[in-house]
Structure 1
Amino acid sequence: MANQILSEICCYYCTEMDDIFSRLLSLTSCITCRVIEFIEDLVLRDVIRLLKDSEINSSCKQPKIGTCTGFLDRDGIYLEDLSFINSGSEIVNRNYSRGVHFVFKGLTLLISFFDFAWRSAIETWRCIGYHKGCVHARLQSIVSRVLRTLNGSSDDIGWLQASPEMAPVEDGSARFLELLQETRNGVHKLPDSFVYLLIPGLFSNHGPLYFVSTKRFFSKMGLACHIAKIHSEASVEHNAWELKQYIEELYWGSGKRVMLLGHSKGGVDAAAALSIYSQELRDKVAGLALVQSPYGGTPIASDILREGQVADKETRRIMEFLICKLIKGDIRALEDLTYEKRKEFIRKHKLPDNIPLISFHSEASVGPGVLATMSHIAHAELPWLPRILNEDADDDAIFAARKVPVIVPVSAAMAITALHLRLRYGEKSDGLVTCRDAEVPGSVVVKPDKKLDHSWMVYSSWKKEPTEPDACEMCEALLTMLVELGKRASK
């Protein structure tokens, strides 16, 4: 709002200044021309009057008796020949006219000089006004960029809930906690009549343990579970097409409908597949659970790639280098998660009404102890280690000895970003996605009773707590609840 008011004031100010300058220039030009014409008329009129007076005086001094050219002196004596006096009078008149001409030329030069000085002053003033306008426009641009940077995503967070055409959500947290407790007690209700597809999120290709423990957990229960092999750093529309092909392949290969569980950008990709290809996937998908997905967008992506803010071009070049050059991805993978792109996509593509939806979101802990939390994201193999330890070891022992855990402080990074979003916008988040942006209109919203960061559902903590549920049990409870929603909708 401040940007709009400032822009309107500056435009009005510049327009009024340009109008004043143009009118002032026209007025000064008109006055200058009138003054010059007035002075010229005065000088010419005086010259003509002087010339007439000189002619009258000449004619009065000549005798009027006959054709005599004589002249009477003061004593009445008539002089016969005074032609030298007439010739002298002509010389005086000629010199007088020449002097008047010189005076006229001098006045003309003086007027021309004043005209030149006035025009130079006008041009100088116009040049100063132009440079003043340039400086003002530059200052306006700087102020606008600073205000846009300071405002950030304040006006965009939670825009889905503010839209009157969006369907309301239903709170299913209580039922989820009941199912989670049953799962921890050994009661497993997931039927084998579905194929369960886990869809990873952004940068999942660089974390080999992404959803691995969850897939292994489902496979031990005899369920058909797969992890979608998609390019995590590709655009949303590209991944939507790949998921559509993947779902159709699973459906026609097994004859079972597919249950989708997408984490982070994986949930956005899955929702895009159902929105764009709703006719093709109508009878092939049984439900979708979006886990910590920025369905409405994320302030992290928007604040990084927002145009019109301070150092926007430099920041975009850095992100293009990191995503496109370093990890061989597509900048649109991050750009599609901004509020601007999500608004454009959601208004163009609507989710189908006949598919059960669950929105799962959480809040990250920002306590000091979280900064020391480490996450196990991958294994590194050391082929030379078994020979040093034991040459007679079997293949399983050798393979286990080669695996060295890769530990990264992911939770610490999530705690820092969650604290940043809390201090800057006053919003609860898991470190990357705010709680309000993760709620899909028309879905059943699930909010756990413990603080979980954005990576908790896919990466296991290095220090596990046996008394607390893990990510595998939460995913099972979510999918069990999704099956119940499907049964309730079919009645």
Structure 2
Amino acid sequence: MDDILTNLLRLTSYISDRFLKFIEDLVLRDAVRYTENFGATPLGNSSAHNSKRYYTRSTSLQPSQVGSENHEIYGRRVINNNSELLVDTRSIAVNASYVSAAVPSLLLKGLTLPFLGLQYAWSLGMASCRYSFSCIRCAQLQVHRITSRVLKTLRGSSDDIGWLQHAPGMPPVHDGSSRFLELLSDIRNGKDSIPSSFVYLLIPGLFSNHGPLYFVATKRFFSKMGLACHIAKVHSEASVEHNAMEIKQYIEEIYWGSGKPVMLLGHSKGGIDAAAALSLYWSDLKGKVAGLALVQSPYGGTPIASDILREGQIGDKETRRILELIICKIIKGDIRALEDLTYEKRKDFIMKHKLPLDIPLISFRSEASITPSVLATMTQIAHAELPRLILPKFGSKVSDQFVESGRQVPVMVPVSAAMAAFALHLQLRYGEKSDGVVTCRDAEVPGSVVVRPNMKLDHAWMVYSSNSKKKKSSEPDAREMCQAIFTLLVELGKTEREVEQVL
């Protein structure tokens, strides 16, 4: 504030001095012009002319008429007197001009003192007003910024959920739930119809590296049936494009090693990675992939990831720092693995890279149960690595193997309870049914055959249901579900080939 007032005082003083100088220059210019006009009067010219004429006349007289010496002396005196008179007249005029210029200058300076005071007061008042207006403007901007952040946080993903169903140019989906339930019933009754002419590749989802039982029971189930089944060893916490390249290499190795086309089944982010591999490298994979099933995959995006990583909302920077610390430092993953599941990233990727529709596609989506009994469920699906913990040895081989295996301790995690809580949150906030992570509308892939089971299955059901010891015999598990999905893929492939042959 002091600097502003000092600068205003300097500017006011400078302007007033320039104004006075301008007025003085005008007055002095008028005085000089008047003096020049006064010096050029006929009096001076006539005196000089008369003196010159007199001098000429006197010098032209004959010595016989007047005495030469007397006349010459007299003529010189007359000329000197005239010149002195002219000089005195001009000096008087110049002195008069200085006096006439000095008097208005003093008067103007005396008159401008009140004007300068008023100008200083006006400048001081304007500076205060400008400072007040700037403070008010800053406060308005801050309030607007906070309000926009609050509104964006409250709005969340309301405008993004189910965007695939309204996007232009997207092919419609077909309901295959009834046929899927028929195949599932046949499988549970002992009618196995899945062929061995394919290699079945299971692709795990996000954070699968920390779940040692991920797809293990399903792979063992398929192997006992004499089928070639593999679990893709991808870095689950890597980006979608990185995993797409690894899956492409996996498919090529399997195809050239076995000579059989590959059936793909991806769970959660694994389905996104598999779909990205087909979208990016279809020219290399055409003829090597026989079908793709996306099970509980956020193909259109998930509100969980978008609500956490959305920019411009309250606490966005702090939340991102915490996630980067957990994913990048602790889990040794890539933050892009979670970013690629947001609506913004999925929209950009799907619009740029179209999924090929000349292979069988199945999208499996489900709805989680939100009953109070589910909130108390505990599920053993994860493990904790304790490399620095010194565990006691009791002399048994089991203990030695346990210590040598990297000290992997199974952890009881309430996954079902967490999925139920998330599903309840999404239903109350957005009015959307979900499996706890993916909404039902975002899991349906355009142009695919959609499977909508008539059971309450959360997002982690495909992982832990095969390993649960308390499974009811009347309910199917993940192994049977995967077999029914692959069987439906084989039927869709046969139907497409028959249609091509007819055409």
Equivalent in 191, 199, 206 of residue 203 of structure 2 = 199
- What is the rounded CA distance, in whole Å, between the counterparts of 1:154 and 1:231 in structure 2? 31
Kindly indicate whether the alpha-carbon contact (under 8 Å) linking 2:382 and 2:413 is maintained by their aligned counterparts in 1. no
2:456 aligned to 451, 456, 460, which one?
A: 451
Q: Could you tell me whether the CA contact under 8 Å between 2:173 and 2:445 is conserved in 1?
A: yes
State the partner residue of 1:160.
164
* Residue number among 419, 436, 439 corresponding to 1:434 in the alignment: 439
Can you list the C-alpha shifts for 1:399-421, whole angstroms capped at 9, x where unaligned?
Answer: 9xx99864321100100111111
**C-alpha distance in 2 between matches for 1:378 and 1:123:** 66
Separation of aligned partners in 2, 1:377 and 1:320: 24
- The residue correspondences of 1:5-16 to structure 2 (distance < 5 A) are none
Q: Compared with structure 1, are the counterparts of its residues 378 and 133 closer, same or farther at alpha carbon in structure 2 (3 Å cutoff)?
A: closer
1:259 aligns with 2:263: yes
Contact 1:374–1:462, Cα closer than 8 Å, also in 2? no
Shift in Å, 1:248: 0.3
Select the residue among 223, 228, 248 that pairs with 1:224: 228
Q: Which amino acid aligns with 1:247?
A: I
Partners of 2:313 and 2:395 lie apart in 1 by 57
* Counterpart Cα distance in 2 of 1:107 and 1:378: 92
Say which SS state the counterpart of residue 358 (structure 1) adopts: strand
Aligned residue in 1 for 2:242: 238
Structure 2 unaligned regions, length at least 5: 1-11, 32-98, 499-503
Query: Unpaired segments of 5 or more residues in structure 1?
Result: 1-28, 49-94
Aligned residue among 126, 130, 140 for 2:130 = 126
- Partner in structure 2 of residue 76 of structure 1: none
Secondary structure of residue in 1 paired with 2:285:
coil
SS state of the match for residue 153, structure 1?
Answer: coil
Q: How does 1:58-457 map to 2 (within 5 A)?
A: 104-378=108-382, 387=395, 406-457=411-462
| Aligned-partner Cα distance in 2 for 1:332–1:342 | 12
Counterpart contact for 1:320–1:331, Cα < 8 Å: yes
C-alpha distance in 2 between matches for 1:428 and 1:304: 19
SS at 2:472 equivalent: coil
Larger Rg: 2
Q: Does 2:474 match 1:467?
A: yes
Matched letter for residue 443 of structure 1: S
CA distance, structure 1, for counterparts of residue 336 and residue 102 of structure 2: 86
Cα RMSD (Å) of the superposition? 3.3
Q: Which residue of 2 aligns with 1:56?
A: none
Identity %: 68
Relative to structure 1, the CA distance from residue 471 to residue 112 in structure 2 (aligned partners, 3 Å threshold; closer, same or farther) is same
Say which SS state the counterpart of residue 381 (structure 2) adopts. strand
Which secondary structure does the structure 2 equivalent of 1:422 belong to? helix
Give the deviation of 1:119 after TM superposition. 2.2
Measured in 2, the distance between the counterparts of 1:407 and 1:101 equals 97
* Alpha-carbon separation, structure 1, partners of 2:117 and 2:409: 91
Paired with 2:192 and 2:432, the residues of 1 have a C-alpha distance of 36
Given that 1:376 and 1:462 are in contact with CA atoms closer than 8 Å, whether structure 2 keeps it comes out as: no
